[in-house]
Amino acid sequence: MTDQDVVNLIEEFHMPLHVRRHCVTVANFAMELAQKISRNGIKIDMDLLRHSALLHDLVRVVDFRELKPETWKDPSTEEDKKIWLELRKKYAGLHHAEAGARILEERGFAKEAQLVRSHRFLQIEKGLTTWEEKLLYYADKRTKHDAVVSLKERLLDGRKRNEPETLESEHAKKLDEKVFALEREILLAACSV
C-alpha cells in the first residue's frame, strides 16, 4: 500500500471530514508511540501502522446510529450522502471495522485489513498479537473525536455514546482492565532504557 492508495480510498468512500480528523489524530499518536518503542529495539512496520490508522474508520458511516450529516459542523454534498447511504445498505448489520477490512481485502491489502479489523473494542477479549495491532487499538481508544485524552475519559465517553447500558457492568470492568493492561505494556515499551 502507498500513501496515494490511502488518499484514493478516503476519497472513493467519501470519509466524512470529522472522521478524517479522528483518523489523522489516531495515526499521529500511534506513530509517536511506535517511534519511541522502536528506539528501544522493537521492530514495528511504520508504513503498515500509519496506513492502517489512517483507514481504520474508512467506512465508519455504516454503523452510525443515525446518519444526519446536516447536524455535523462540516459540510457534505449530495454525492457524499448518496455514497454513505449505499454503504449503509451494502454493509447493514456489520461493524465498520469488519466492513472496512473486507474492502481492504478485496483491494489486496490483507495486512492493513487485519489491523483495521482488530481495532474493534471487543478485540481486547481475544487479544492483540502484533505491535501494530496493539498501537492502532490503543491510539484509537485514547482518541476522542480528534483529541488525545486519558484512557479513562475515552472509555467512559465511548460507553456512554455506544453502549450506555453497560456503564457499570462487570463485563465492562473486565474489558477496561484489559485495556488498561495494554496501556501499561505500551507505556513500558515506550520508556527509554
| pLDDT by 10s per residue, the chain, length 193 | 999 999 999 999 999 999 999 999 999 999 999 999 999 999 999 999 999 999 999 999 999 888 999 999 999 999 999 999 999 999 999 999 999 999 999 999 999 999 999 999 889 999 999 999 999 999 999 999 999 999 999 988 877 776 655 556 788 889 889 999 999 999 999 986 5
At residue 173, the pLDDT reads 85
Distance between CA 141 and CA 192 in Å, rounded? 23
At residue 156, the pLDDT reads 84
Instruction: Note the pTM of the prediction, 2 decimals.
Output: 0.93
Cα–Cα nearest to 95, from 146, 56, 136, 145: 56
Instruction: Count CA within 13 A, CB hemisphere, residue 2.
Output: 3
Percent helix, strand and coil across the chain, each rounded to 5? 70, 0, 30
- Sheet strands (E) in 13-161: 143-144, 147-148
Backbone φ and ψ for 121, nearest 5 degrees, come out as -55, -45
